[in-house]
């Protein structure tokens, strides 16, 4: 994460993407980023909803916004990955029409996975 966390705006700009935050009142309640994954695809990154704000629709609204941003850019696919243990995220993505394309085990930590040994599920949606 050090590769991007201290320079979020620059990191996502360099990866032909962007980073958004969700604010309720004066409180930060969610985040997500988009970065180029292929000529026809963006990758959803750093999707997070504050624990106290979960199950209020913020995650769905952020996902809808990410999809709309991809369409605005003429992007045909949105891809993402999440850890198998993220049951609420998996339910959100599946209910929004994402299909599982493959699963793997993260061999080593990177800026796209928090640790090694985690089962990662990779999804995509044609927009």
What digits encode the pLDDT tens for the residues 20-63?
999 999 999 999 999 999 999 999 999 999 999 999 999 999 99
Q: How confident is the model at residue 109 (pLDDT cuts 50, 70, 90)?
A: low
What residue spans of 1-127 are helical by DSSP H? 2-5, 8-14, 58-72, 87-95
CB 82 within 8 A of CB 41: no
What does the angle CA 106 – CA 114 – CA 122 come to, to the nearest 5 degrees? Answer: 50
CA 122 to chain CA mean position, Å: 11
Query: What are the chain's domains?
Result: 2-126 (3.40.630.30)
């Amino acid at each position: 994460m050090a590769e991007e966390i201290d320079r979020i705006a620059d990191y996502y700009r360099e990866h032909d993407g962007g980073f958004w935050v969700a604010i309720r009142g004066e409180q930060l309640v969610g985040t997500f980023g988009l970065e180029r994954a292929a000529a026809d695809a963006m990758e959803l990154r750093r999707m997070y909803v504050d624990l106290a704000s979960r199950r209020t629709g913020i995650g769905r609204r952020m996902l809808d916004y990410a999809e709309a941003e991809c369409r605005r850019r003429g992007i045909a696919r949105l891809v993402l990955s999440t850890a198998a243990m993220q049951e609420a995220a998996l339910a959100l993505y599946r209910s929004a029409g994402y299909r599982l394309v493959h699963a793997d085990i993260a061999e080593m930590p990177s800026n796209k996975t928090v640790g090694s040994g985690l089962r990662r599920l990779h999804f995509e949606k044609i927009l």
